Amino acid sequence: MENYRVTKALGQGTWGVVHMAEQIGSNRVVALKKIKSKTSGEGINFTAIREIKLLREFRHENIIELVDVFVTPDQAVCLVYECAETDLEKVLNNKSIPMSFSDIKQHLSSLLRAISACHDRWILHRDLKPDNMLFLKDGTMKLADFGLARMYGTPKQRLSPQAITLWYKPPELLLGSYEYSSAADMWSVGCIFAELLLRRPFLQGKQTDISQLDTIFTVFGTPNETNWPDHKALPLCARGLLWDDVPAIPFDEIFTGAPRDAISLLRSILALDPNMRFTASQSLSHPYFSNEPPPTPKEKLVLDTPS
């Protein structure tokens, strides 16, 4: 801690307060995330270990850099990150910040490049949402908060369906799946893309998994043999939970005014059936990214109101 001078609090996370600090000597501005053990003597928090392990050697333009790790005298682990200026949730909530189709293309491409790098290394993020998409001063988007991230792949591991924030949670997790994969993150990517187009969260269930499933099925239609052949094997369906048959609402009726290529990509990402969902690299090859308009250069993004 003697290597850092704390300047101000940046925010409260699930596992502790995050502070802005200056690295003494270099004057580098960093973000300090102090993760307390739940009780004394319990050892280092699992979340911290997971985040350290996964981020330690991960260098990518769109993934937050873990600069340093140390343990404080009161046995808390302190994770030191490069410091961001703002995040996508703040940008979306500030209605005086414009959001053009070119800006949306830039945000989505940064997110897809970050998540493609994670999936290439068999890492699932499991908490993709606008508040975890941070922006540096120069406009670079940095994916953050790997506290829920996990390795996946072969041999197939049991993963807890208790992951991912409700509005960004895919139907297979809501139906109790233990064997999900990168497609789960891609559902969250689709929800973020939809939120950029609508400028409000897309699938706003009311606190419970069942309400979230109702919200999803009202838009996408009820799962059936055509749109999701394997859904009946999932725990909640196997237990006999049934929904009234409802048809899907066409995306052009929801995303009125959105470019056709954006709607086509969004439809490919947000498939009910995880096996049908586009991967991050398939999404990056979609014509949406080579068609006009080009993405806004990151240094031209407006991320704050002029003071």
The reply to whether 10 sits near ligand AMP by the rule CB under 6 A is yes
Residues in region 36-65 near ligand AMP by CB under 6 A = 64
Strand 29-35, strand 66-71: pairing: unpaired
Asked if 31 interacts with ligand AMP (CB under 6 A), we say yes
- Classify residue 299 as exposed, middle or buried by CB count within 10 Å of its CB (0-12, 13-18, 19+): exposed
Report the SS3 class of residue 131.
helix
Size of site (CB under 6 A) for ligand AMP: 16
Q: Which residue is nearest to ligand AMP (CB)?
A: 13
Using CB under 6 A as the binding rule, whether residue 11 contacts ligand AMP is answered as yes
Q: Of 145 and 209, which has the nearer Cβ to ligand AMP? A: 145
Residues 89, 131 contacting (CB under 8 angstroms): yes
The neighbour count for residue 178, using CB atoms within 10 Å, is 14
Q: How far is CA 205 from CA 161, 169, 271, in A?
A: 17, 10, 18
Closest CA to 216 of 278, 208, 32: 208
Mapping DSSP to helix (H, G, I), strand (E, B) and coil, where does residue 289 land?
helix
Does the annotation list 122 as a binding residue? Answer: no
**Among residues 92, 108, 110, 145, which is the contact residue for ligand AMP, using CB under 6 A?**
145
Residue with tokens 């080009």: 294
The answer to whether the annotation marks 17 as part of a ligand binding site is yes
22 binds ligand AMP (CB under 6 A): no
- Active site includes 230? no
Under rule CB under 6 A, residue 131 binds ligand AMP: yes
With CB under 6 A as the contact rule, the residue among 4, 18, 118, 185 that binds ligand AMP is 18
| Interaction between residue 84 and ligand AMP (CB under 6 A) | yes
Question: Is 140 within any annotated ligand binding site?
Answer: no
- Min CB(144)–ligand AMP separation in Å: 5
Q: How many whole angstroms separate alpha carbon 33 and alpha carbon 65?
A: 13
- Please give the full DSSP string across 168-219, using - where no structure is assigned: G--HHHHTT-SS--HHHHHHHHHHHHHHHHHTS-S----SSHHHHHHHHHHH
Task: Tell me: does residue 78 bind ligand AMP (CB under 6 A).
Answer: no
Question: Can residue 21 be called a binding residue for ligand AMP (CB under 6 A)?
Answer: no
Per rule CB under 6 A, is residue 191 in the interface with ligand AMP?
Answer: no
189 is in an annotated binding site: no
Residues 217-256 that bind ligand AMP (CB under 6 A): none
Q: Which residues are annotated as a binding site?
A: 10-18, 33
Q: Which residues are annotated as a binding site for ATP?
A: 10-18, 33
Active site residues: 127
